[in-house]
Amino acid sequence: MGFWRPRALATAPAAAKRSVEAPGDLPVRTGRAMPLSMTRLPRAFALGLGQLSDPTILRVLAKSLLATLAIFAVLGVVAWQGLSSALTAYAAGYEGLGGLIAIVLTAIGGWLLFRVVALAVLQFFADDVVRAVERRHYSAAADVPDLPFLAELAASGRAMLRVIAVNAVVLPVALLLLVTGIGTALLLWAANAWLLGRELTEMVWLRHRADKAELAPVSGLTRFLLGGIVAALLIVPFVNLLAPVLGAAAATHLVHRGRARDA
């Protein structure tokens, strides 16, 4: 690239000035600049993926996976037994069919609820993921003290209420869109993209904001794209087990790079 020469740059033509590389992760200004979300998101996910072998994150993965699977095992047995009993009571003589329907309905319900349960479980371990990323990449941020337990509990409660409220609004519309074939899937993806993008960035920002009303330094579009990627990963078998942790790591990078940009 050569040495930085401010005087030469000052006398250079405007077109030459625009071709100079911007520092850090900013896009190269050649003509029309790319949206920042299109350059920061891939790097944030790449950095998060590269840290999945970190011992702290591996422990979080193990704990969150065990907790998620245990919750689903209990919920699955309860739902299957309840549905099977209800269907048998209302369809005498079709006990075998009732059991099969119960299994199918339980599997569908589990698939729909997986992202909610996985995110709720991650809330208990998210701070470990955020701290691990901060220790490696943002050492000054890692020194910020933990949130008080009651504040963390309140944040988790608000997040769960938002999930319930959004799904209560979206599900009736999603059922109506079943006739379109793809409308239901797109609506659920969009709703979860908004929820996940908000929750992932907020759980990083809670420890660093100066005021309760202060918003995370991540644009609405970037949050939505972050949540959209994580929501899409949650649909893929086996990958969905890694998605919440990967999303938390990526959100940490986005928040701290946004802080550095605004500083």
Structure confidence at residue 193 (pLDDT): 92
> Please, what is the Cα angle at 219 between 218 and 224, to 5 degrees?
100
Contact (CB, 8 A) for 201 and 226: yes
Structure confidence at residue 225 (pLDDT): 95
Residues 6+ apart with CB under 8 A from 243: 118, 230, 233, 234, 236
Structure confidence at residue 253 (pLDDT): 94
Structure confidence at residue 111 (pLDDT): 63
Ramachandran category for residue 27: left, alpha or beta (phi over 0 → left; psi -120 to 50 → alpha):
beta
Structure confidence at residue 119 (pLDDT): 66
> Which amino acid is present at 176?
L
Q: Which residue has the tokens 């422990």?
A: 59
Structure tokens at 212: 């309760």
Structure confidence at residue 22 (pLDDT): 37
- What is this structure's pTM? 0.72
Considering only CA atoms, which of 201, 175, 200 is closest in space to residue 187?
175
**Cα–Cα distance list, 208 to 14, 76, 205, 213, 222 (Å):** 39, 38, 5, 12, 19
Torsion sign (Cα): 178, 181, 185, 187 = negative
Cα gap 248→133, rounded to integer Å: 9
Q: Mean pLDDT per 10-residue run, the chain (263 residues)? A: 38 39 38 52 92 90 82 74 66 57 62 67 78 90 80 77 84 85 87 90 86 84 94 83 88 91 72
**Cα–Cα distance list, 249 to 25, 47, 143, 232 (Å):** 17, 8, 17, 16
- Burial per residue of 171-187, b for 16 or more beta-carbon CB atoms within 10 angstroms, e otherwise: eeebeebeeeeeebeeb
Structure tokens at 240: 């969905």
Structure confidence at residue 256 (pLDDT): 92
Structure tokens at 188: 């659920």
